[in-house]
Structure 1
Amino acid sequence: MSDKSNTARVQRPSLSSNMRSSSYLQEHQQYRAPNKPEGHYGIDTVVEDMNATSIAASPSPIHPPKGVARFKGIPSPEHPPTIVESGLSHELSHPNCTPAPGTRSEKLVATLYYKSTAPRISNAIPSPQQASSPVGSQSPKGRASDSEIPANMAPSSSLDTFPLEPPTAEPEPLDHLYGSYISPMCITSFLHLMSSFPLPPGSSDLNSAHRCLKLDQTPDHHPLVVELTLSPGPSLDYLPLADLRKHELIYRFEREWNVDVALRTDTLFRRYPRLVVFDMDSTLITQEVIDLLAATIKDPPDLAARVADITHRAMMGELEFDSAFRERVKLLTGLPGTLFNELRPVLDVTNGVRPLLRALKRLGVKTAVLSGGFLPLTSWLAGELGIDYAHANEVIIDETTGRLTGEVKGRIVGAERKRELLIEIAGKEGIPLDQVVAVGDGANDLLMMEAAGLGVAWNAKPRVQMEASARLNGDSLLDLLYLFGFNDEEISQLIQ
């Protein structure tokens, strides 16, 4: 019996030291799936495969310089540990995490919008469709129509009609080469551009992270709106944010890649607006109401053109808005007061306005429309769209005839008045101006944009595009939500 017992004891399996591994799970797990799903790595895999994993610190000399402590396996900013494994390389550094106690992060957010609805034309001028005629046998106008040369390019057949200073060549549209969307090369180019600006004192590295907020409908789902977070941003002592937005390198980058770049300091209020104020004409709606009024008058026949010219010059900032408005209203003398009601069905609400306002309401954001137009139409539109506040000009209607007198009651809602109304509404609601957003397109919107925490130029005039904090040149005002950091998935939840 003893021999059998000894034999059985010897044959009994045992776990000797040379059979042991470094994994407790591998030795004691009762069941293991025969095959792991491809690409799946759980905590058990990480623990079991530690033999194939190395944890290393940033390289340091065997004899570190005087005053530098040797790395002892404790993570630090000077020695961030790195996990290196097959298919994995992760550095445990924290450049984009919450700052250490007593310090403050200085992050800059850049939102890049690809202008897919307005593709740029390459500067490469193709050959004419027909051979050039002898000099003088054809007018410059005729030659332009018979060739593929764009109308804004100089004719090439005769030096007599060639301008002494041809238009400055625009940069080549690089999106034609690297993809008609925000490509990796586009992002790389932007990061390279931003790295050329000095960093704040004490900073040596520029860290960045990105999020795709909007994708196109192609099978590859290319990004159309990308949010880049830079930490830290360029030194504000060297270049204030207002000047950085107007920098010629930023402008050239936008032209090269056919994008709009919105730069904002990454603050808490950036993501949580509480009041959004809109202009009405050419913003909430696609038309200018006073031009609609003028277009209904057939006598004199040139009235509509005269009103439109004054409107255009006022929006470009060439005319003082108050006097320009009074001059245009004077031209409307004698129109019936009921005309405002007849114009309601004609108003064309800008694409994206209705879902945008639904989203803002679900977020608890107050809204207002401050219009340099007419109060009867502005108030009606605000009621239709669910806007909380509406202010505009009140025209005087003769009680006897029921027709416009050509006069305006009270102050004109121009640039100064819009700014005052924005501040009044924010004060009434107890909202700091940092959490106010103003959206407009004309020069008379610039002061309210300046007073708000964020001023957005919507398909605006050139001067407004240059002065505003951000500019949107798309086909849907819903693009405003990307500036707050929402992506398409979140926006779809808000507009349901």
Structure 2
Amino acid sequence: MRSSSFLQEHQQYRPPNKPENHYGIDTVVEDLQASQISPPRQISPFNGIPSPENPPKIVESGLSHELSHPNCTSPTGAPSERLIATLFYRKTAPRVSNAVPSPHTTPQNTQSPTQHSAESDLPPNMAPSSSLDNFPLEPPVAEPEPLDHLYGSHISPMCITSFLHLMSSFPLPPGSTDLTSAHRCLKLDATTERHPLVVELTLSPAPSADYLSLADLRKHELIYRFEREWNVDVALTSDTLWRRYPRLVVFDMDSTLITQEVIDLLAATIKDPPDLAARVADITHRAMLGELEFDSAFRERVKLLTGLPANIFTELRSVLDVTNGVRPLLRALKRLGVRTAVLSGGFLPLTSWLAGELGIDHAHANEVEIDEATGRLTGEVKGRIVGKERKRELLMEIAAKEGIALEQVVAVGDGANDLLMMDAAGLGVAWNAKPMVQMEAGARLNGDSLLDLLYLFGFTSEEIERLTAA
């Protein structure tokens, strides 16, 4: 049994009547027990303001509260340069690891080396072996391993940690030394009710704009690789007042508000020649990819529709397939007082009808000439084609008419002819878009419901349910 005192355990014997001039180590220690070595430190009571002496955290029974305020507000006169990163887990498009067997195949489902199917585990950028003319000049870049297979099919803590580590590698503005962050979950997995699928992170300060602008940051290779590793989409926006309060949302129609391309539906009604639908669909696809000039491509396709009856637009109304989430999204926007518009490179009869059905405030599209004698399409277009330049002009005209600043305008589209419209708006959103549009747009959504647009404004799933309730 030992005490906590080294002196008590090891002190030497001392006679009871020691000389007065004898001062040993024991005497010194005993004499100091009744005195104070240093003056007492003035201890001020905790007044609620965090300091090095008073850590910014309160821990009591059943309560743990952080009192740190580095990310609340900026000093007077100093601009607040915060960055919002909204992470969407791409649950509908899981990546298959190249290192593990594909879940789509079984050991019994074997195929010869010469066979290749859509379910193959070969990465999409693997060099072809059938034609030397198509062989790449450089070896393909290796795909990153999908880490969500290891850490969970959701936005895991490791995913957030990896993203914060990535963002810390970018230079901060001059005078800033630390990067602070906060995050909140906007949407949980409905099956588990505990795994986050949409997470919003606030980073302060934003990376130095002198080193890397926001537009360039969105296209950065590290961001793209992170998305591939964790199977997520990252939407980066400045934390401004206008992000949370949009006043005008402008939509493309084909492959955005609806899942089809109207001009392809029209071509499919013509049976002679039999390959017309395929030819029109090919031109449409190349125009959306940006390989063809939209105006000339549209005139070429309309010319192929010569002779169609004018009432074909009425017959196609029942065929239109409205994109999942569009109706509740428009209901929520209307309750928020947000104006809406559809700017379509398609045809005005169908665009106007759809806008009326969905309650959209403004509708613009192309008008085709109809022969009054025969009641059929002549193959010509009236007036100016609603292409990429015209869409941008119409967006600015509607915003000016409604008295809305462009910073409070959101544009949603999927094709190359929507890029100028997206660039003019405060936020451009690519919806299941073509590759070039995905890279150029301010944000991208690749889910199964357009209702996900509301998460970019900072709404939680609970708030969205209230906004969309019938």
Once the two structures are superposed, what CA deviation does each residue of 1:330-373 show, in whole Å capped at 9, x if it has no partner?
00000000000000000000000000000000000000000000
Partner Cα separation in structure 2 for residue 472 and residue 391 of structure 1:
24
Q: 2-side partners of 1:322 and 1:164: how far apart?
A: 34
**Cα deviations by residue, 1:222-254 (Å, 9 ceiling, x for unpaired):** 100000001111111111100000000000000
Quick one: distance in 2 between partners of 1:494 and 1:205?
Answer: 38
Deviates further, 229-238 or 413-422: 229-238
Q: Secondary structure at the match of 1:102?
A: coil
1:255 aligns with 2:216: no
Contact 1:353–1:476 under 8 Å retained in 2: yes
CA contact (8 A) 1:326 1:407 kept: yes
Asked whether the equivalents of residues 250 and 341 of structure 2 are also in contact (C-alpha less than 8 Å), the reply is yes
Task: Tell me what 2:148 maps to.
Answer: 175
What's the offset of the Cα at 1:104? Answer: 2.3
**Cα distance in structure 2, aligned partners of 1:132 and 1:393:** 51
- Match status 1:113 vs 2:88: yes
Are 1:446 and 1:464, in contact at CA under 8 Å, matched by a contact in 2?
Answer: yes
> Would the alpha carbon gap of residues 478 and 72 (structure 1) be closer, same or farther in structure 2, given more than 3 Å must change?
same
Q: Aligned AA for 2:79?
A: R
Rounded to whole Å, the distance in 1 between the matches of 2:356 and 2:91 is 33
Equivalent residue for 1:397? 370
Secondary structure at 1:392's aligned position in 2? strand
Unaligned runs of 5+ in 1: 1-61, 63-69
Distance 1:281 1:90, change over 3 A: same
Decide which of 287, 312, 319 is 2:260's aligned counterpart: 287
Q: Which residue of 1 aligns with 2:450?
A: 477
Partner SS, residue 372 of structure 1: strand
* Structure 1 equivalent of residue 428 of structure 2: 455
- Identify the match of residue 68 of structure 2 among 86, 89, 93: 93
Q: Pick from 244, 266, 273 the counterpart of residue 246 of structure 2.
A: 273
Q: How many residues are treated as equivalent by the alignment?
A: 419
* Cα distance in 1, alignment partners of residues 185 and 368 from structure 2: 47
Following superposition, the deviation at residue 162 of structure 1 comes to 10
Unpaired segments ≥5 residues, structure 2: 1-38
1:173 partner SS: coil
Distance 1:341 1:130, change over 3 A: closer
Question: Against the structure 1 CA distance between its residues 440 and 149, is the aligned structure 2 distance closer, same or farther, given a 3 Å change threshold?
Answer: closer
CA distance in 2, matches of 1:76, 1:131: 64
Give the aligned CA root-mean-square deviation in angstroms: 2.8
Q: Specify which of 300, 314, 324 is matched with residue 273 of structure 2.
A: 300
Contact 1:80 1:91 (8 Å CA) reproduced: no
Counterparts of 1:219 and 1:477, CA distance in 2: 23
**Aligned equivalents of 1:199, 1:210: Cα separation in 2:** 19
Residues in 2 aligned to 1:162 and 1:471: alpha-carbon distance in whole angstroms = 31
1:82 to 2:56 alignment: yes
Confirm or deny: 8 A CA contact 2:98 2:123 kept in the other structure.
no
Q: Secondary structure at the match of 1:198?
A: coil
Alignment of 1:50-65 (within 5 A): none
Alignment correspondent of 1:367 = 340
- 1:173 shift after superposition: 0.3
Structure 1 CA distance, aligned partners of 2:336 and 2:443?
A: 22
Task: From 77, 87, 92, give the equivalent of 1:102.
Answer: 77
Would the aligned equivalents of 1:457 and 1:470 in 2 still touch at CA under 8 Å? yes
C-alpha displacement at 1:101, in angstroms? Answer: 2.1
What pairs with 1:20-419 in structure 2 (closer than 5 Å)?
75=49, 81-86=55-60, 90-124=65-99, 126=101, 129=107, 140-142=113-115, 144=116, 149-150=121-122, 152=124, 153=126, 167-419=140-392
Q: CA deviation at 1:124?
A: 1.1
Query: Any idea what the Cα deviations from partners look like across 1:74-94, whole Å, max 9, x if unmatched?
Result: 747777643454565655331
Could you tell me how far apart the structure 2 residues matched to 1:89 and 1:313 are?
57
Amino acid at match of 1:215: L
1:123 is displaced (CA, Å) by 1.2
Distance in 1 (CA, whole Å) between partners of 2:78 and 2:159 is 33
Offset from partner CA, 1:370-412 (integer Å, 9 cap, x none): 0000000000000000000000000000000000000000000
The letter for the 1-side match of 2:81 is: E
Q: Which has the higher contact order (CA 8 A, sep 6+)?
A: 2
2:465 aligns to what? 492
Cα separation, partners in 2 of 1:260 and 1:122, compared to 1, 3 Å: same
Distance in 1 (alpha carbons) for counterparts of 2:44 and 2:78: 25
Letter paired with 1:354: R
